[in-house]
Structure 1
């Protein structure tokens, strides 16, 4: 399970979501599938649950989704936006 950093401020802006990390004052811009993944983290979904939502919504190959999802979640962890529990 992934948990969002408590030191974040989120703002929906047009078709994007802006995330400000208050620790390093960096702003991250999420779009499209990234927003779906972010929302899945909000709902405390496991990796496979988030993957299934993306596969069903966008009708994409599970193997490709898992690869991209893993890379994106790792990027979020490196940027200290989420932690893995």
Structure 2
């Protein structure tokens, strides 16, 4: 990928979403990381710097607002 980003992608089979979300909840310590949107963890779940960042809504909103690049830089996940 460009910009030095090397994401890890874990595919979740249909019908196994609940188990994956349960595992993510344990990994995240139950924090949810949904950015205040309620509803807890959603798929796709995005981790930045080893911490739960949120789902697609949070990624898109921070990208549109211009906040995503600084978050990625601070985590050492983006080299520009």
Name the structure with the higher helix share: 1
TM-score over 0.5 (shorter chain)? no
Higher relative contact order (CA 8 A, sep 6+): 1
Calculate the TM-score normalised by the size of structure 2.
0.36
